[in-house]
Chains A and B, each alone.
Chain A
Amino acid sequence: MATLKLTGVRKAYGAVEVLHGIDLDIRSGEFVVFVGPSGCGKSTLLRVIAGLEDITGGTLEIDGEVVNAMSPKRRGIAMVFQSYALYPHMSVYDNMAFGLTLEKAGKAEIDRRVREAARLLQIEPYLDRLPKQLSGGQRQRVAIGRAITRDPRVFLFDEPLSNLDAALRVQTRIEIARLHEGMEGTTMIYVTHDQVEAMTLADRIVVLNKGHVEQVGSPMELYARPDNLFVAQFIGSPAMNVLPATIEATGETTRVKPQGGALVSVPVSTPTAAIRQAVHLGVRPEDLTLAPAGGDGLFRGVVTLVEKLGEVTLVYLDTGGEKPLTAKLAGDVPLERGTTIALSARPEALHLFGSDGRAIRQRMRLAA
């Protein structure tokens, strides 16, 4: 049971500020995932929470207590590192028991907790082995087991799966999800590059960019209602198509004209003053569908590339704009390079962003 509260947390290395004031509330038992491009400060934020890095400014509270100056051990955290970081000279058992030994826990107690964690992670057969006698997946499970035995208030994971191959990654991801379900009240914070991990594991996702929080929300919230262009393009794969557009008519619904596309109505309301403003129109590749033959659709263009992935077909369309438009069409779509097609999308699937990149949101519908 642990809540975390970050208030204006900053971290600087010398003159270089890496985190610029992070505010975040994490509830007890929540699974929070940090995502963001490489170098945005995910690991740094995690290490600040762990106590491996000093906090330059702001406060970090765990269960209402300010822990800025507290050692990692007294914070009651456990961390799983990307590179496993096992003690190479100790057996799996000793690796998992090390923290408890330092706490001077009783032998029987240590044995019970190590074996329980080993059973949970199915590494019982390897307890006597050295780390070098294990496969990558087994090593990472030992590292997770080492964290479990300490019974921490907060679990921290820094890209724990990125060294594993694809199949093992899926399997271990499911194990971590199961683990979180089994450890009620244990707060988990998880850093990853991988969208699928973020979407499947998280109760809430924190999108970081250049040391700022861009948006915090449940996976589906981020997907359906991104706050800004950055989040819109970061969540979802392939990334959302974003086209420069101009507002042609304001009011209850807004009519915009995207570059290389037809005039379209977006169900968001804009003030009259917004007329002729430059905006961005966003549409996810999976929200685009082939317009019926002969129909006009929203976008019209020449197919430049077709990628068949089996369950979906990715189509790249040259609409005369700067970037080709990506469409993700279900199934195997018989399209040839060079043909001209039209794509359309439901109005609700269109996103509008101001020139500052912030989302122009669907107004709360007034009682009608």
Chain B
Amino acid sequence: MPAVLRQTGFWALVAFIVLFSVFPFYYAILTSLKSGTALFRVDYLPTSVSFANYAGVLSNGVFPLNVLNSVIVASVVVAISLFLAVTAAYALSRVNFAGRSLLLLTILAVSMFPQIAVLAGLFEIVRAAGAYNSLLSLIFAYMIFTLPFTVWVLTTFMRDLPVEIEEAAIVDGASPFTIVTRVFLPLMWPALVTTGLLAFIAAWNEFLFALTFVSNNDTRTVPVAIALLSGASEQEVPWGTIMAASVIVTVPLIALVLIFQRKIISGLTAGGVKG
């Protein structure tokens, strides 16, 4: 009896968590497929299917451009963050130098500042650098929150890679760069994929910097673009279009996670050293 009870309890909890996290998205899909006054009826199952909202948002002119901007910003942020983080992680985890742990703590400390606290200062820097209203400003600003955790996670991960494997490579005549690229990187896929995905999602969803550093409609990224979607009149909030846009920008993230989840497997170092 207790076993049955535990089983039921477990699955009830799972069901609750799934419902809790998936329902909002499900409701967004449902709403995006409605049209007209149906929007204001509460339904839990699709009644009629209309793609008018999707057609609307995609033909709106700048929205596809906004999606492209987001893709560019997020991809570049991920690429640069991972490159800097991997090289930094090697130094921070494997090279002994004075002030190493202080440096690590400082890097982590950077991520403690709320965005709003650094906003004004960053704005000045961005303006002074002439990057205002360009994607460059966002790429630069997003590093502030992607680098601390990518560096931190990869440093921790690299520190746990067996030292002997590195030493074997040194004896084999490998330079530090060869060690990182040909020995460590292949072992770090799980960490790279995880941190890369998180950095991508963070950059993709960022709102405050995107709102402040860019004022041009063509240069906006999707979170701001969606917030600024307006209806036919001042009073009307175009829920259908907003929901359609939201679904459109969420799908790439889900696709990315599904594609890369196969890479997020542990045990890549199995067999290298005796445990």
Task: List A residues at the B interface (Cβ < 8 Å).
Answer: 50, 52, 71-73, 77-79, 81-89, 98-99, 102-103, 130-134, 136, 139, 146, 150, 163
Contacts and interface: CB of A to CB of B under 8 A. Distances in A.
A99 B271 CA distance: 19
19 contacts: A52-B171, A72-B170, A73-B172, A79-B168, A81-B167, A84-B164, A85-B167, A87-B168, A87-B183, A88-B187, A88-B268, A89-B186, A89-B187, A102-B172, A132-B270, A139-B271, A146-B168, A150-B172, A163-B274
B269 interface: yes
B172 A131 contact: no
Contacts of B99: none
Contacts of A84: 164, 272-274
A177 B166 CA distance: 28
B185 to A, nearest CB: 9
Interface string B125-168: 00000000000000000000000000000000000001011011
Nearest to B164: A85
B76 interface: no
A82 B274 contact: yes
Contact of B167 (A52, A89, A133, A139): A52
A231 B204 CA distance: 69
Contacts of A50: 171
A52 B187 CA distance: 22
A78 B274 contact: no
A81 B163 CA distance: 11
B272 A98 contact: no
A78 B171 CA distance: 6
B171 A131 contact: no
Contacts of B269: 88
A130 B270 CA distance: 9
Interface in B216-274: 268-274
Contacts of A82: 274
Given A85-B164, A89-B186, A134 B171 contact: no
Interface in B24-48: none
Nearest to B273: A83
A102 B175 CA distance: 9
Nearest to B185: A89
A103 B268 contact: no
B2 interface: no
Contacts of A103: 173
Contacts of B270: 88, 132
A29 B171 CA distance: 20
A168 to B, nearest CB: 13
A358 B178 CA distance: 51
Nearest to A140: B274
Contacts of B268: 88-89
Nearest to A75: B171
A73 B173 contact: yes
The CB with the most chain A CB atoms within 10 A, among B171, B187, B271, is that of B171
B190 to A, nearest CB: 12
B174 interface: yes
A73 B183 contact: no
A88 B172 contact: no
A15 to B, nearest CB: 16
B77 to A, nearest CB: 27
Contacts of A99: 171-173
Nearest to B170: A72
Interface in B177-229: 178, 183, 186-187
A87 B272 contact: yes
Contacts of B168: 79, 81, 85-87, 146
Contacts of B171: 50, 52, 72-73, 77-79, 99
A83 B274 CA distance: 5
Contacts of B170: 52, 71-73
A84 B170 CA distance: 14
Contact of B273 (A85, A89, A146): A85
Contacts of B183: 87
A130 B164 contact: no
A98 B181 CA distance: 13
A130 B173 CA distance: 22
The CB with the most chain A CB atoms within 10 A, among B162, B173, B183, B270, is that of B173
